[in-house]
A and B are shown apart, each in its own frame.
Chain A
Amino acid sequence: MADQKLIVIVENCTGCGICEGVCPYGAIEVVDGIAVVYENCTFCGICVESCSFEALELVGGEGAEKKEAPTGYSGIMVYGEVLNGKLSRVSLEILGVARRLAEKRKCDVTALLIGNDVKRFAPDLIRYGADRVIVAERNDLDRFVDERYADIFSKVVEQYRPEIVIGGATAVGRALFPRVAAILKTGLTADCTDFDIEEGTGLLLQTRPAFGGNIMATIKTEYTRPQMATVRPRVFKPLPPENREGEIIEFHCDGYSPSFYKAVIDVLVTEGENVNLEDADIIVSGGRGVGSKENFKIIFDLAKELNAAVGASRAAVDAGWIPYPHQVGQTGKTVSPKVYIACGISGAIQHQAGMKSSDFIIAINKDPDAPIFDIADLGIVGDLFEVIPELIKEIRKRRGN
């Protein structure tokens, strides 16, 4: 069954090299005018589709051919994440895109709330697009404990059988969803930035960036259900809230007794500054150009003026000027605010990977050749220590008017 092969039909191969270029794994190469398949081939079939000469063929793996998706699954389920007693914005964003998908798929949208004292958020979920809300409340669900939440989540899915399950690619979502997916033995696509319903099959097409945002990939879950995905916050917009009718269902689920012990014994909320960068409308970020920990005050000042969150480049974090939770980029956070103001940041590709998808990028940098200007919608060639104080003055002036 696993003995799949990718075969090169030598008579047909022209050595054009298109397959070599499309292979995401670098597993095919043209050698002496003929395609050669290496053993890191994953049989994804992308090359087969790309070949105009029918020179590539996937054989074997009959198991895969005969697979069929289980039936009896329908509808879209959206996970309503409650964090620190607040409904996450990303849940509303997902309801927006879920409604669009539901229209195409001709199905309804269910939201799921898990926690203690979370029923009060059900009306909001309905206003933003849910046809019904399932509420799983229990007093041991006060804090997010991955295993307990995943246990309930998977039971809800087993009972209600949604075809599609979507949640936010937040710290919670990215811990909870893989746990649920593994319990249900189904596919999960992380951090999606676009969705569609495939014509004909009705399958969910899930598009996400990979390789640090250098490529985009579209992914399908064909033979298992539900089709699960997490969504990058701020990519979709919530629909305007409406007064809609919706059903609220209580889900009772007792008797969770795992063979291990796990507990959240304390919750430390970082006060004062907003470190929830993924959720911020505006981010003011500082880099090595800021020069010192003390100097970061100017970044915080501007952020405060704009009611923005504070970000940083890796250089600034590694220098100890600002803690890691503020880091944006490949080894930090991925953000897509309305406005990203990069101050004293060169815009290395690893930093860009974390902020390129912002709606509007403003860069303040002394070096006119800094790569950040290649992607900035507004480039300001200047000294941040001169420009920012002027900017704060200017903002106050305009607000005063």
Chain B
Amino acid sequence: MNIVVCIKQVPDTQDVKMDPERGTLIREGVKSIVNPFDLYAIEEGLRIKERMGKGRVVVMTMGPPQAEDALREAIAMGADHGILISDRAFAGADTLATSYTLAKSIEKLGSPWIIICGKQAMDGDTAQVGPELATWLNFPQITYVSKIIDMGDDRIKVERLTDYGYDIVESSLPCVITVNKEINEPRLPSLRGMMKAKKFKAEVWDSSSVEVDRRYIGLDGSPTRVVSIFAPPVKKGGEKYHGEPDELARHIARKLEEIKII
């Protein structure tokens, strides 16, 4: 039974900025990292295996060859196996094409028990791949999971974060869950894991080894297209006050009155 964790390599967003004068991206020194939310997904996969005493944690990523580094990090944390889905034909995928390709890869892998994604990826911030993946697979989905309450071979009960609190949700397995950072505290790589990661070579799947309908992959299979990028308006600081607390409080209160809050 496979515990599949989908992870993505992303640029460290705090490094990605625009040069406001030239309207171009500044990329010098941008590091690649494992999408932060995906670390919680990996951790939860490992915990399921430990708690249940069974299952195989398989991390999967679609991306260019260097995305193998992301898998390696997961192996160091304790994942059993890593698959890199990589082919020029997959390039340029938006969330629909990405989720399709992942779905077909999961079908190829077989015996899915549970599929875990991060809540969202830090580059696009879309949070769409998880639910779209579930849809392609015709599996149920549970987004924003903050706790697994109970899990068996074919049932799961979780707590999901909502806009008003939490829902308790029950579902049959296999299903796709997306996790937020409340769910756990990701572990650091163990010594053994690091040894294993050193020797790790990802299993690489391309468009001939995964059975795909070419209409749904890569750029051609992507209905959305980015047509332009630009720098957000620069926000500048306004007035700044030093002084006695009561005086400072009056500055705030006056402002709140001005903008009709009080």
Chain A residues within CB distance 8 Å of chain B: 1-4, 18, 20-24, 26, 39-44, 46, 61, 63-64, 83-84, 143-144, 146-147, 150, 170-172, 174-175, 177-179, 181-183, 185-191, 205, 209-224, 258-270, 275-276, 278-279, 282, 306, 323-325, 330-331, 338-339, 341, 349-350, 353, 356, 360, 362, 364, 368, 373-383, 386-391, 393-395, 398-399
Contact = CB atoms under 8 A, between A and B. Distances in A.
11 contacts: A2-B220, A18-B22, A220-B224, A223-B223, A260-B138, A261-B171, A275-B163, A324-B182, A339-B261, A378-B251, A394-B246
A159 to B, nearest CB: 19
Nearest to B167: A264
B92 A42 contact: yes
A374 B234 CA distance: 10
B143 to A, nearest CB: 4
Interface of B: 11, 13-14, 16-19, 22-27, 30, 36-37, 63-65, 88-89, 91-96, 99, 122-132, 134-136, 138-144, 146, 157, 159, 161-172, 175, 180-182, 207, 214, 216-220, 222-232, 235-243, 245-246, 248-253, 255-257, 259, 261-262
A1 B128 contact: no
Given A183-B135, A394-B250, A394-B253, A215 B180 contact: no
Given A171-B163, A378-B241, A380-B241, 5 more contacts: A174-B128, A178-B128, A190-B125, A323-B182, A331-B181
B140 A262 contact: yes
Please list the 4 inter-chain residue pairs (A to B) with the smallest Cβ-Cβ separation, ordered nearest first. Answer: A21-B24, A187-B223, A42-B92, A182-B135
B239 A175 contact: no
Contacts of B230: 215-216, 218
Nearest to B246: A390
Contact of A187 (B131, B167, B222): B222
Given A190-B128, A215-B230, A265-B170, A221 B223 contact: yes
Pick the most buried of A84, A174, A205: most chain B CB atoms within 10 A of its CB. A174
Contacts of B139: 260
A169 to B, nearest CB: 9
A83 to B, nearest CB: 6
Contacts of B93: 42
Contact of B235 (A150, A218, A356, A394): A356
Given A21-B22, A22-B25, A214-B232, A224 B252 contact: no
